[in-house]
A = this chain, B = another copy of it.
Amino acid sequence: MPTTLKDVAERAGVSRSAVSRTFTDGASVSAKMRQRVEKAAKELGYSPNALASSLTTGRTRLIGLVSNNFHNPIFLEVFDLFTRGLQDKGLRPLLVNLTDETDPANSVKMMRQYSADGVIVASSTLPAGFAKAFRDAGIPVVRAFGRPTRAPQAHVVGIDNVEAGRMAATTLVARGYTRLGFMGGPQDATSTQDRMHGFLDELARHPHVTVTHSFADAYSFDAGRQEMLRLLQSSPAQAYFGGDDVLSIGALSAIADHGLRVPDDIGIIGLNDMTMAGWENINLTTIRQPIQQIVTSCIELITGMLDDPDRYPEHRIFACKIIERGTLRHEIHILSSS
């Protein structure tokens, strides 16, 4: 059983308050007092019980990190950055796996039980209702990788997926492709909807370009592979914008199996720039989300809310960047129509 405040107080021959004060900065303690206490504390190997103190201070320094994306490799990176970032600020991530959870109420209850100071909802597929539920429960929340709502109800950090779709479109057009395809993730994922919207919208400005679209069942290798195999049955497009990297890599494998060459026969551009996209035997041209900045922003916002819970909700949207690799041709074809 660990040593408590009282033990230290007794050994140092001082009051319990004195001990408490030496361990809370900004409190009034004389130099000698501090010395005595610190000596006793060291001898006993004392370190204050954060949970007990949370009772009176109302702060646990616990942050719920909730996600349902435990299969997309990009999220390992996300978790890495979040845990490090939070730790650096003296916060502890309480990891919550929402894979089989549909009711926000349960999560709220859980966060309440553990009096989490705040919650970070890191998911591109969870409905906005989750973040909202936390907010309504009075728990500071920031949503990472989500779609901004029209009237900001909670902090949202991420990229503009519509813009990313546009970016994919202009990139493909600039490479001279004229028959394009959008191969999305699940049709009900807002990320897929937005990316498609931006993609199609931009292409509408290029009348000489034709475009088709379809959806894979999930953001997964297999789904991407299946969908691409299907597409390859009948005349496929010259190039595809894949819903995300893992999907695109699945598509790549389908293309290879079909005996076609990338980028000569067919081009593909993904989104995320997850580690594997950079592997030389994958070498996927893709659109990079600035994960590090997104995570940093989230942490900034959540700590901001700890200080001022009534802070106005904010959207922080970052630009993406094309990562040039080997799945898109470089040459610019001269178009007959221009």
* C-alpha spacing A281/B80, complex, angstroms: 27
Q: Closest CB of chain B to A41's CB: distance in Å?
A: 12
Partner of A51, one of B1, B84, B114, B276: B114
Pair A50/B280 contact, Cβ less than 8 Å: no
B-contacting 9-mer, from A65-73, A151-159, A285-293: A65-73
Closest to A114 in B: B50
Pair A80/B71 contact, Cβ less than 8 Å: yes
Q: Which residues of B contact A99 (CB under 8 A)?
A: 80, 84
Judge whether A318 is part of the interface by a CB distance below 8 angstroms. no
Q: Closest CB of chain B to A155's CB: distance in Å?
A: 21
| Cβ < 8 Å to B, chain A residues 36-89 | 47-52, 54-55, 60, 62, 65, 70-71, 73, 75-77, 79-80, 83-84, 87
Q: Closest CB of chain B to A119's CB: distance in Å?
A: 13
Closest to A81 in B: B70
Q: Which residues of B contact A282 (CB under 8 A)?
A: 281
In this complex, how many residues of chain A approach chain B with their Cβ under 8 Å: the count is 54
Partner of A281, one of B50, B93, B252: B252
Q: Closest CB of chain B to A254's CB: distance in Å?
A: 8
Judge whether A257 is part of the interface by a CB distance below 8 angstroms. yes
Judge whether A14 is part of the interface by a CB distance below 8 angstroms. no
Judge whether A275 is part of the interface by a CB distance below 8 angstroms. yes
Closest to A47 in B: B109
Closest to A137 in B: B2
* C-alpha spacing A279/B271, complex, angstroms: 18
Pair B83/A79 contact, Cβ less than 8 Å: no
Pair A94/B97 contact, Cβ less than 8 Å: no
* C-alpha spacing A283/B249, complex, angstroms: 13
Judge whether A115 is part of the interface by a CB distance below 8 angstroms. yes
Judge whether A334 is part of the interface by a CB distance below 8 angstroms. no
Knowing A252-B281, A253-B280, A281-B253, say if A50 contacts B92 (CB, 8 Å).
no
Q: Which residues of B contact A275 (CB under 8 A)?
A: 71, 73, 221
Q: Which residues of B contact A54 (CB under 8 A)?
A: 51
* C-alpha spacing A50/B257, complex, angstroms: 54
Judge whether A325 is part of the interface by a CB distance below 8 angstroms. no
Pair A70/B79 contact, Cβ less than 8 Å: yes
Pair A87/B80 contact, Cβ less than 8 Å: no
Pair B65/A113 contact, Cβ less than 8 Å: no
> Which residues of A does B touch, CB under 8 Å?
1-2, 47-52, 54-55, 60, 62, 65, 70-71, 73, 75-77, 79-80, 83-84, 87, 92-97, 99-100, 109-110, 112-115, 138, 221, 225, 249-250, 252-254, 256-257, 275-276, 279-282
12 contacts between A and B (CB under 8 A): A2-B112, A51-B113, A55-B55, A62-B114, A65-B95, A70-B77, A84-B97, A93-B94, A93-B95, A94-B95, A250-B279, A254-B280
